[in-house]
Amino acid sequence: MNLESSDAGERSEFGALLELCSLPRIGPARLRALLGDRAALDAVEDLRCGRAATVAALSACRGVDATLIATWQRHAAAALDRAARGERPIGADLLEAHTRAGVWLHVPHSHGTAELWQSEPEPPAVLFGQGAPLEPGPRRVGIVGTRRCSAYGRTVAQLLGTGLAAHGVAVVSGLATGIDGIAQRAALDAGGPVIGVVGSGLDCVYPAANRTLWADVAQNGTLLSEYPLGTPAVQWHFPARNRIVAALSEVLVVVESGASGGSMYTVDAAVEQDRPVMAVPGPITSATSVGTNRLLADGCAPVCDVSDVLLALGEHAGSPAGAAVPEAPEDNLGRQVLDELIGGPRSVDELALRVEATLAELASSLGRLQLSGWVTETGGWWEKSR
């Protein structure tokens, strides 16, 4: 929902929703309890009046006591009183701040996006967004992993991000340092769609090291948060954030992870929502692969290249969505190159020693194979992609 183009009725409702989101210590679960199935304006009025059902729903939330409810009632009363005196419509200042920042609101179960949240037992009451609107059409894969990733994990995250982008698949993750941010940066650099879900207000960048990535996702992808502007990142926001990553992912891929941590919170949420979970195998001597190897032992499907993920999505593993499968190369040099790459990645120099061609002929052949989707190149190493 675009705040700037909304009509007066919608703006009043958005203003009330923003007032509720901005209550001190409200949080997603408490906000859901407060709203119930009502319009936000009704919820504000019920809160001020101390409606018994509203008080009971809030009291059932962990950590909510009579003192906190009384604080919320005072905030609701002040907002309604200002509106009644004609000073400012409810939530007007908040609306203006979010509009200036280019923030739009996404309300689950409305405006044609209900299917995104069908499996989520605790969908967000509202999401704040920047960039492209959240729509159900594009295919979506979650990529998560440890912040303290290895060089191997970095390479795999880059390959998956780039490969999914080439097939028009959105990479969903949390913009964290490590695997999350690496995969999303690779997808952005390859021109693919990216959905970033963060654990703070959209103006409170966390981690600070990912400030450029954060801005690029807001500009060229979709940036989402459950929290209004000005909300700092706190520890408990991130498990809540991870359930949204899981909900928006048709398939969840864990690249590297220890036995516990944020990635495993996301796995638990995906399992609860009946989302397929896949894992990248890693060395049994690596602490960063303990979690992924355990997932494989528990029966999760392995990811050895991007084609495994595309197959899980139901896409053809070797071609961008909707594209025809290219013919096998007919020229002798192309077939030689592919035969040599069966054994694993090769540099141009290695290939030149193994095939009957000059470097110029080899470079031309590799270019044709790359354009047709048969090979990929990363850091000077060529490998088969189908």
Q: List the domain boundaries for the chain.
A: 8-100, 116-313, 332-384
Specify the higher pLDDT residue, 323 or 213. 213
Whether the predicted pLDDT of 39 surpasses 90 = no
Burial class (CB in 10 A: 0-12, 13-18, 19+), 281: middle
Query: Which pLDDT band holds residue 8 (cuts at 50, 70, 90)?
Result: low
CATH 1.10.10.10, applies to 332-384: yes
DSSP secondary structure letters along 181-217? HHHHHHHHHTT--EEEEESS-TTS-SSGGGHHHHHHH
pLDDT number for residue 131: 95
Residue type at 32?
R
Q: Which fold has domain 116-313?
A: Rossmann fold (3.40.50)
Express each pLDDT in 331-381 by its tens digit: 788 888 888 888 788 888 888 888 888 877 887 788 778 766 788 877 778
pTM of the model: 0.76
C-alpha distances in Å from residue 165, one per residue of 31, 46, 193, 320: 35, 47, 7, 9
Question: Which pair of structure tokens corresponds to residue 276?
Answer: 């397929």
